[in-house]
Amino acid sequence: MIPFLKKKIYRLGDFICGYRIVKLIGEGKFGICYLVTLNEKQYILKKIKAKAIKKSGNKVIFEEEILSSINHPLIPKIVDIIKDDKVYAYILEYKEGKTLEDMLFGCNHVFTSDEIYRIGIKLINIIKYLHERGIVHRDIRLPNVIINKDEVYLIDFGLARWINNKKYSVSVDFSYLGHLLIYLIYSSFKKNNKKSVPWYDELDLSIEERNFLKKLIGLNDEYTNIYEVEKDFLKIKT
């Protein structure tokens, strides 16, 4: 049973069940994330919002259930769960690095084709791991991908669900991946006219790249599984 939580704003230096608040990381639909420390080690504390629990009920525990069922080095593990009448939160591994959102819009990073390929293939491998275990992430966006040198981490499983091929199908992950890759490609784009044209006409893409991205986001048929996605993506690089 999820407890009814009292609303509280946590500040730098506050303690939650022994974990010390270092800073606010961000806020989403279901929770607020803080960087915390315990015994000089850093973690992410994701505090579930009371209104999310009231509105969604047991749906908010999907993240806890799914993350507790998997073990992948590029996905933060749940290391502790706090549930009482004051707070309901997960303690997650802290993955150091910058999100793609920070790199694109904070640092104005220009992604090379090699960088985009490395990020794409690592995300495909993570998606393959999830889909093989019956999980669809449903939120593979720029703020949910962390880059640290050659490592690529996928975070925030608040919208993740068990695949049922009806409401929760694999196609949503393909669509999100396609849009994410398009954002990265646009980082090196320099607009030379004012005319508005679709991305597949505006970007300098090979026929194979264009067809792959259009199929990913459902403009040209749709991929039915991650193995087809991986096969076509590998063809583009070679």
Residue of 14, 84, 114, 139 marked active site: 139
Q: Is 221 a catalytic residue?
A: no
Please state, in angstroms and rounded to a whole number, the distance separating the CA atoms of residues 78 and 43: 10
Please state, in angstroms and rounded to a whole number, the distance separating the CA atoms of residues 144 and 6: 28
User: What value, to the nearest 5°, has the Cα angle with vertex 100 and ends 99 and 101?
Assistant: 85
Please state, in angstroms and rounded to a whole number, the distance separating the CA atoms of residues 208 and 193: 25
Burial class (CB in 10 A: 0-12, 13-18, 19+), 127: buried
Helix (H) or strand (E) holding 99: strand 98-99
Residues carrying an active site annotation: 139
